């Protein structure tokens, strides 16, 4: 049950698992008191912890705020640490002194204007808003906190309103700050690069600042908008974890700063590098939403909270709970080299195997035979598709498959009709030579007319052709992030305005085409974040389709995102990115960790492999609902061991699917055992593959015995069913 208790100037938000507490000091400042285990009451004199700061001292003109744990620290008025907010007034000063004014409690979750955010249709959540203000600047600051009933998540964001007459400049507007009393934590971030997205990075924290950020215009493959502080004893199932993620897809920062007293300030929000926002009288600026998680059960508790958040409060639309179609994508099958005949042959084979959706990737429009032209001209290439998309779509549907199409709507090729007509519609900096990346430029989505073009270009195709699925790609970052649509003093607003423009297009899109399944992509998983998931229920995890490498990417991605959000396909061997060869069953077992699909030319496979694929697919379809929506447990970390293992358990605990991959072959060893998790200890499970009947507690204690085939990168997977009522 969620509660917000406000008593004796103490604000206490809690559900059944955790509490978040702050109080007023001296009637003015919001002091952070506690984020963690649920508390029944908070009566102690927390201020005593900051021994040199008797309450009365806050009247004196001293740097007292520099020691105080705070909810909304600012610059230039006593706190000498990095702050949440920095606003400059007309006199040039950024001294900001926000003091308490009022609070309100609501029984719902407000949406954030123009931005993706968590929602709650059940009214089981509660929201506290606290208003602060600075009279000198004429600035009102409203802090929002929502606590959910069904997941251990606190959503926070900030709204800044100019209630005076001055022109204000926001130089930093982060979304959440939590001051911890100590610094005995290790920091987890998800970092990497193209084809190596979201790997687990642990580091000790120490005095100074440490964290991750992106100034690339996208949340990025290099750093995900997420970080977690964990107690030194924390691991997969034990210890305290405090996690921070952002419901946003653009530039961000997430960091932990340890101060001179050994306190830790954790903050997350918009990256202030290159950021600025003019706020004139009457205007409000809304920060993206931060979602904070407290887990007393290590990383698994954190993941379960985030998975529930994604599944029930972030992802929307008809595919939120629906079975996702098993797709075949032609990218690695043909790249740009295809015609209608070739596509239909692949589609026919895909249908024979049992796939349900055929996706035509890049290369169907303009005269795009390579990645150097035509982005922006979303008209089919009749050299390749003489009957157009409509005829192809009809033929694909005629084979019993749904039809999906790739777009990269936010981009323009210099060699395109769109660019020739509107050379100023891309991000650029005045006369400076335009830098291409993958031979392309970024459309300036901060401009309304560009957003309108992008919306109509995609919507026209979706209206005239029967399309069931869209892969929405984005393959380069912003550099420079300048716009011809705004004056010099507004250029620092462009990256965030771009995101607002993109979100407005996506909102229009999903509203106009509610039947379409959207999958987001950015050179693989370069924009895998909670913001995009609000519009698109799944994201292509990585351009690296190698089963071995995918174990790492998918394992770490599962820290935050559920398996229903992760695009995962079986591709050809030798793998196109790594040259590695792995067996079909390993590739299938790894793809079962996500939405499952194919990305290879099935017309070239021998009959024996086609038969194996049919068999594997029939098995996947039999447990699809559990695979997509079951409770996910990581069992063995590829980052620490010679393999990876995970399992999913249906909500009623009557079905489970277990996967284990071994990387390097081992000889002359006992057979490994894999203790399971999340089963009903009293239930007897039938293990399909071994025909054993084992109790839940036996499986969770002694484990499943693993008999891998010989060789490297081999796997075993098991389907378990409750054997009796
Ligand atoms: C990106 C995507 C790929 C594919 C290509 C097409 O790299 O991540 O999956 O769609 O673009 O150009």
521 lines ligand 1 (CB under 6 A): yes
pLDDT at residue 254, as a whole number: 98
CATH class, range 634-722: mainly beta
CB-based contacts of 166, cutoff 8 Å, min separation 6: 89, 90, 137, 138, 281
Q: Whose CA is nearest to atom 7 of ligand 1?
A: 523
Structural element, H or E, at residue 613: helix 607-622
pLDDT at residue 47, as a whole number: 67
Q: How far apart are CA 181 and CA 185, in angstroms?
A: 11
Question: pLDDT by residue (tens digit) across 131-184?
Answer: 999 999 999 999 999 999 999 999 999 999 999 999 999 999 999 999 999 999
CB-based contacts of 320, cutoff 8 Å, min separation 6: 311, 537
Least confident of 364-368, 545-549, 665-669: 665-669
Residue 123 has pLDDT above 90, yes or no: no
Provide the whole-model pTM: 0.97
Question: pLDDT by residue (tens digit) across 333-343?
Answer: 999 999 999 99
The active-site residue, picked from 94, 361, 377, 473, is 473
CATH superfamily of 318-540: Aldolase class I (3.20.20.70)
Residue 52 has pLDDT above 80, yes or no: no
698 lines ligand 1 (CB under 6 A): no
The active-site residue, picked from 543, 546, 549, 589, is 543
94, 100 in Cβ contact below 8 A? no
Average pLDDT value for residue range 466-482: 97
3-state secondary structure at position 620:
helix
* Distance from residue 336's CA to the centre of ligand 1 (Å): 11
Residue 62 has pLDDT above 70, yes or no: no
* Distance from residue 347's CA to the centre of ligand 1 (Å): 19
* Distance from residue 471's CA to the centre of ligand 1 (Å): 9
473 lines ligand 1 (CB under 6 A): yes
Instruction: Clarify whether 473 is annotated catalytic.
Output: yes
Two structure tokens written together for 22: 């702050």
Q: Whose CA is nearest to atom 2 of ligand 1?
A: 523
pLDDT at residue 122, as a whole number: 82
Average pLDDT value for residue range 325-346: 98
Q: What is the DSSP letter of 369?
A: S
Q: For the chain, what are the domain ranges?
A: 3-314, 318-540, 634-722
Q: How far apart are CA 337 and CA 334, in angstroms?
A: 5
Helices (H) and strands (E) in the chain, counts: 13, 39
Question: pLDDT by residue (tens digit) across 107-121?
Answer: 999 999 999 999 998
Residue carrying the six token digits 């026209």: 460
pLDDT at residue 540, as a whole number: 98
DSSP line for 254-318: EEEEE-TTS-EEEEEEE--TT--EEE-TT-EEEPPEEEEEEESBHHHHHHHHHHHIIIIII--ST
Backbone dihedral region of 678: left (phi > 0), alpha (psi from -120 to 50 degrees) or beta? left
CB-based contacts of 685, cutoff 8 Å, min separation 6: 656, 679, 693, 694, 695, 696, 699, 720, 721, 722, 723
Relative to beta strand 538-540, strand 566-567 is parallel
Average pLDDT value for residue range 339-356: 98
Question: pLDDT by residue (tens digit) across 655-695?
Answer: 999 999 999 999 999 999 999 999 999 999 999 999 999 99
| Residue 63 binned pLDDT confidence (cut-offs 50, 70, 90) | low
CA of 29: how far to CAs of 46, 62, 290, in Å? 14, 14, 22
* Distance from residue 473's CA to the centre of ligand 1 (Å): 7
Atom of ligand 1 nearest to the CA of 406: 10
Q: What is the mean pLDDT of the chain?
A: 96
| Residue 54 binned pLDDT confidence (cut-offs 50, 70, 90) | low
Question: pLDDT by residue (tens digit) across 550-598?
Answer: 999 999 999 999 999 999 999 999 999 999 999 999 999 999 999 999 9
Average pLDDT value for residue range 6-33: 95
Residue 221 has pLDDT above 60, yes or no: yes
Helix%, strand%, coil% for the chain, nearest 5: 25, 30, 45
The domain made up of 3-314 has a fold known as Beta-galactosidase; Chain A, domain 5 (2.70.98)
Question: pLDDT by residue (tens digit) across 292-324?
Answer: 999 999 999 999 999 999 999 999 999 999 999
Instruction: Clarify whether 377 is annotated catalytic.
Output: no
Residue 653 has pLDDT above 70, yes or no: yes
């Amino acid at each position: 049950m969620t509660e917000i208790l406000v008593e004796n100037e103490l604000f206490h938000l809690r559900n059944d698992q955790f509490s978040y507490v702050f109080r007023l000091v001296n009637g003015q400042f919001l002091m952070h008191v506690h984020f963690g285990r649920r508390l029944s009451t908070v009566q102690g004199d927390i201020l005593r912890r900051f021994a040199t700061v008797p309450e009365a001292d806050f009247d004196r003109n001293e740097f007292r705020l520099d020691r105080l744990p705070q909810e909304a620290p600012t610059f230039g008025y006593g706190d000498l640490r990095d702050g949440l907010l920095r606003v400059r007034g007309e006199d040039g000063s950024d001294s900001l002194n926000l003091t308490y004014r009022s609070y309100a409690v609501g029984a719902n979750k407000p949406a954030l204007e123009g931005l993706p955010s968590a929602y709650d249709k059940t009214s089981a959540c509660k929201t506290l808003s606290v208003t602060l203000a600075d009279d000198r600047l004429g600035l009102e600051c409203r802090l929002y906190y929502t606590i959910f009933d069904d997941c251990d998540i606190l959503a926070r964001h900030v709204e800044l309103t100019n209630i005076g007459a001055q022109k204000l400049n926001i130089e930093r507007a982060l979304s959440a700050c939590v001051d911890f009393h100590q610094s005995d934590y290790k920091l987890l971030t998800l970092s990497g690069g193209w084809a190596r997205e979201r790997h687990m990075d642990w580091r000790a924290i120490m005095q100074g600042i440490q964290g991750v950020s992106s100034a690339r215009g996208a949340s990025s493959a290099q750093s995900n908008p997420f970080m977690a502080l964990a107690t030194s004893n924390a691991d997969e199932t034990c210890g305290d974890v405090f996690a921070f993620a952002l419901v946003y897809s653009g530039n961000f920062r997430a960091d932990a700063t340890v101060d001179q007293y050994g306190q830790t300030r954790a903050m997350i929000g918009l990256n202030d590098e290159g950021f600025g926002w003019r706020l004139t009288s009457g205007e409000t600026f809304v920060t993206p939403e931060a979602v904070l998680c407290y887990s007393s059960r290590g990383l698994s508790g954190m993941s379960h909270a985030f998975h529930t958040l994604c599944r029930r409060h972030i992802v929307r639309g008809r595919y939120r709970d629906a079975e996702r179609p098993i797709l075949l994508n032609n990218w690695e099958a043909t790249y740009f080299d295809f015609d209608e005949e070739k596509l239909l042959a692949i589609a026919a084979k895909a249908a024979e195997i049992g796939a349900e959706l055929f996706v035509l990737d890049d290369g169907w429009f303009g005269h795009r035979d390579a990645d150097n032209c035509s982005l922006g001209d979303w008209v089919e290439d009749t050299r390749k598709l003489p009957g157009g998309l409509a005829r192809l779509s009809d033929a694909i549907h005629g084979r019993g498959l749904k039809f999906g199409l790739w777009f990269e709507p936010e981009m323009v090729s210099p060699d395109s009709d769109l660019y020739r007509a509107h050379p100023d519609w891309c991000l650029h900096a005045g006369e400076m030579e335009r830098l291409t990346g993958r031979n392309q430029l970024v459309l300036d989505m901060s401009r309304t007319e560009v957003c309108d073009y992008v919306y109509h270009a995609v919507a026209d195709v979706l209206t005239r052709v029967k399309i069931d699925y869209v892969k929405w790609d984005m393959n380069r970052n912003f550099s420079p992030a300048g716009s011809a649509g705004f004056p010099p003093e507004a250029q620092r607003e462009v990256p965030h305005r771009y995101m607002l423009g993109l979100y407005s297009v996506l909102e229009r899109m999903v509203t106009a085409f509610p039947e379409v399944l959207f999958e987001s992509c950015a050179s693989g998983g370069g924009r895998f974040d909670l913001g995009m998931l609000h519009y698109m229920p799944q994201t292509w995890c990585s351009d690296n389709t190698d089963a071995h490498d995918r174990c790492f990417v998918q394992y770490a991605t599962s820290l935050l995102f559920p398996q229903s959000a992760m695009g995962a396909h079986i591709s050809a061997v030798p793998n196109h990115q790594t040259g590695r060869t792995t067996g079909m069953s390993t590739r299938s077992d790894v793809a079962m960790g996500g939405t499952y699909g194919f990305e290879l030319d099935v017309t070239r496979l021998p009959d024996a492999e086609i038969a194996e694929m049919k068999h594997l697919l029939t098995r996947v379809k039999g447990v699809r609902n559990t695979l997509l929506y079951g409770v996910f447990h990581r069992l063995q970390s590829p980052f620490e061991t010679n393999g990876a293992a995970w399992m999913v358990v249906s909500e009623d605990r009557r079905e489970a699917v277990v996967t284990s991959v071994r990387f390097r072959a081992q000889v002359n060893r006992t057979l490994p055992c894999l203790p399971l998790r999340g089963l009903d200890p009293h239930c007897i499970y039938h293990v399909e593959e071994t025909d054993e009947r084992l109790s839940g507690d036996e499986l969770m204690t002694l484990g499943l015995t693993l008999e891998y085939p010989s060789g490297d990168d081999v796997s075993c997977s098991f389907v378990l069913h409750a054997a009796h009522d």
